[in-house]
Chains A and B, each alone.
Chain A
């Protein structure tokens, strides 16, 4: 029943199952195998609320080109069972070309949105096939079937299985390979899906990495050697990756009792001269805001990575949203100049986090990195990011000459004052969250307050951020203005529109605070149409833009909250028709 298939440029598929069926592991193996085959890929996951045994889905998009967004539709869904599968219905757009493969023994339990939907269907007897193999498992059968359907070379899958199961021993590898073989053997009976061509040539220079790992690596590249950690979804992987990594490069991670402690520990470590970081999500950032204000006032550099999730309050911990923007910009007490930057891809999590360390250290102020769940918890095959020479360079003070007194908050042209590190003779000072004079002595006087406010503001206002304030792409009179994880779908949409009458260009803002007003105004020159794209309910990014630049009165606004990802097709129809698909 196989139909002839085209050489596709990308294939999207879902592996779903429940009760410990191992679909996430299978998804990881498939992504690794795809990488070995020379493909690029992106994997996200979705799961029920259970800690163990819940329903789970690995959502993969594989391509011969780098993948920047989740797909508009899925080509293939393999469900090892149908338990609570309808939970994923919103996340998995289907059409008449989608192939859905279920477990033969559970055919009766197939949910309505599958049976009544347009997709083509097939069934595989996963349970019995796997029982026939000693140590066999249904998820390995599924892997084999998927591989055969999409054109994944057998040796790539076998190699990925060997890598993943190396610790479990030869028997496990043999069983898995046998399972995959059994899955391959039944693939021909299934409705056909598109096949991806296997690329020729060089595959070196690619990484398989998650956004959270990338952020951790960027921080270490930038010079972070002290991390204080309190676990929170979806930021925990940054901390867990950094813990052993820091040990290897001579740094240290300390687990704190809460976010109030983690941010204060980070500030303490940085005060001691060691570039420091903490990572959290919205609820944790809320707890940290008082201490971030302290870092502003006391001029101690520190980096806070906020991997945003759906809010308010506990919200939707495992899903993405951009709704911490206002908090990152405005939550600190008083007039508190600090840095807010946002990575716009998994790959960019490396650069932006590294850059944030550089900015925080150079300006002696806190930097908040606004990543999100869609970047952080997604895993991707990417081109290895270049090693940019942005590293922590803090201006420090040395012992003053006889008769001269050290002033920690000396008023300088740049606003940055040399910072004495504890242990430096003749420079002892008290860092203070109370307003102070140049020496650091608490002062409630108008003059001291105004001078120090100006000095702190000057640090971030006058800094040269270079071209990194935004990424720009495409050409056209229409500008799509966006930030963060919305950038991927926008980029893919604009690539699809390139060369047509609807061609448009993109500005993806990496630097959010201080607002790059001049740069943005200049970049928008000549735009006949501006479309602002963000993932919030209230339009936080739009409000921010309106507050900072003279945005055209008729600027359009596409603003949807999480938890569903933004899809390239939405942006295409937005540009073409003025409304999302």
Chain B
């Protein structure tokens, strides 16, 4: 009887889902991630109108329309600045950013680093399937270098990007990895990520059954992290040195203060500003 004392949420997970039907392929991990997100929102007892889901371009970036929250489906790779602008202007909103490995780590790679540094109170969920789906199966930054595809026959030959290592080095305040096959476990990670102040990064391994059917095997590859979450950068870094990419759970919980300049507190009028120019 661990959690019977929890408050019954005002809204069920389904209340956060819109009536728009996803375009994803049946079997896609993103369906389950959508379920994890709505479960986390429900458990956090958030009113849907006080939540915004922001995205860029790609399969996973279709998520905002599938939620019944405020949303913005922006341009490719720019979901993080779009979300940061919203959160800084409207600190009262809970802002979740949804992205994929192409949108988030390739075209949006620079924003990823700087969002980690800036530490605006956002939760960044990257559904990683190591492939571009919307353009029919090209290598992404996290794709294995020898994965054969039409654009780079025989494989890209490029070492995969290591999102958790980058996040840690760039200063993300919360870092975790989940797996779409564990909807409830991922919901728990997301709840914690949203609650954690500052920039929270959650990589979710989310198989692409169309272009990477081999990823169905991931359910046998993932395993719980054997080490507890840490607030120590050195320990987290050492853990990542031996990471096989399939450890799931929370890696790092930082204590940096979130970036939120004050807004709405005027101490002067426009006429005061104009006075500085008057002779």
Contact = CB atoms under 8 A, between A and B. Distances in A.
Contact of A249 (B73, B74, B268): B268
Interface string A419-433: 010111111111111
Contacts of B49: 422-428
Given A225-B263, A268-B84, 13 more contacts: A247-B267, A252-B89, A252-B261, A254-B85, A260-B111, A261-B80, A267-B82, A291-B74, A291-B75, A298-B72, A422-B49, A422-B52, A433-B74
Nearest to B278: A207
A209 B70 CA distance: 42
B68 interface: yes
Interface of B: 20, 47-50, 52-54, 64-65, 67-75, 77-78, 80-90, 92-93, 110-111, 113-114, 261-270, 272-274, 277-279
Interface in A207-224: 207-209, 213, 217, 220-221
Nearest to A298: B72
Contacts of B84: 254, 261, 265, 268
Please report whether the interface of chain B is mostly helix, strand, loop or mixed according to DSSP: mixed
Contact of B73 (A262, A420, A432): A432
A260 B109 CA distance: 12
Contacts of A271: 72, 82, 85-86
Given A294-B75, A422-B52, A423-B49, A276 B85 contact: yes
A428 B73 CA distance: 13
22 contacts: A220-B270, A226-B89, A249-B268, A250-B267, A251-B263, A256-B81, A261-B111, A264-B74, A268-B89, A271-B82, A272-B86, A274-B89, A298-B74, A423-B90, A424-B49, A428-B49, A430-B53, A430-B65, A430-B70, A430-B73, A431-B73, A433-B73
B68 A428 contact: yes
Contact of B85 (A203, A251, A272, A294): A272
Given A217-B277, A251-B263, A422 B73 contact: no
B261 A264 contact: no
A217 B89 contact: no
Interface stretch (A58-66, A87-95, A166-174, A434-442): A434-442
A248 B270 CA distance: 9
A475 interface: no
B65 A384 contact: no
Contacts of A571: none
Nearest to B73: A432
A375 B228 CA distance: 59
A217 B71 CA distance: 32
A384 B274 CA distance: 9
A261 B261 CA distance: 18
A433 B75 contact: yes
A298 B86 CA distance: 15
Nearest to A422: B70
A353 to B, nearest CB: 13
A273 interface: yes
A228 interface: yes
Q: 5 smallest A-B Cβ distances: which pairs?
A: A268-B85, A430-B71, A265-B85, A250-B266, A269-B89
A502 interface: no
How large, as a class, is the contact surface on chain A?
35 or more
Contacts of A276: 85, 89
Contacts of B75: 264, 290-291, 293-294, 433
B270 A221 contact: yes
Contacts of A209: 277
A511 B166 CA distance: 46
A381 interface: yes
Interface string A230-257: 0000000000000001011111101011
Contacts, number: 190
Most buried by A among B67, B74, B110, B264: B74
Nearest to B261: A252
Most buried by B among A258, A269, A276: A269
Given A423-B49, A427-B49, A430-B72, A250 B269 contact: no
A228 B270 contact: no
A350 to B, nearest CB: 9
A307 interface: no
A265 B277 CA distance: 29
Given A268-B81, A291-B75, A422 B263 contact: no
Contacts of A213: 277
A127 interface: no
B85 A257 contact: no
Contacts of B279: 35-36, 203-204, 206-208, 381
Contacts of B274: 207, 217, 384
Given A274-B89, A440-B65, A252 B277 contact: no
A257 B278 contact: no
B273 A245 contact: yes
Nearest to A258: B110
Contacts of A254: 84-85, 88, 261
B80 to A, nearest CB: 8
A488 to B, nearest CB: 19
A249 B90 contact: no
Interface in A274-305: 274, 276, 290-291, 293-294, 298
A280 to B, nearest CB: 14
A266 interface: yes
Nearest to A381: B279
Contacts of A298: 72, 74
Contacts of B52: 422
Contact of A272 (B89, B114, B262): B89
B263 A267 contact: no
Nearest to B120: A254
A442 B65 contact: yes
A55 B267 CA distance: 41
A274 B65 contact: no
B129 to A, nearest CB: 21
Nearest to A293: B75
A269 B263 CA distance: 12
Interface in A174-228: 203-209, 213, 217, 220-221, 225-226, 228
Nearest to B20: A441
Contact of A264 (B81, B89, B93): B81
A250 B277 CA distance: 20
A251 B270 CA distance: 12
Given A206-B278, A441-B65, A249 B89 contact: no
Contacts of A423: 49-50, 70, 90, 92-93
Nearest to A434: B73
Most buried by B among A35, A207, A257, A270: A257
Contacts of A420: 70
Nearest to B267: A248
Contacts of B88: 226, 252, 254, 265, 269
A431 B54 CA distance: 9
Contact of A273 (B67, B72, B83, B90): B90
B71 A431 contact: yes
Most buried by B among A35, A266, A271: A271
A232 to B, nearest CB: 17
A256 B117 CA distance: 11
A134 B208 CA distance: 77
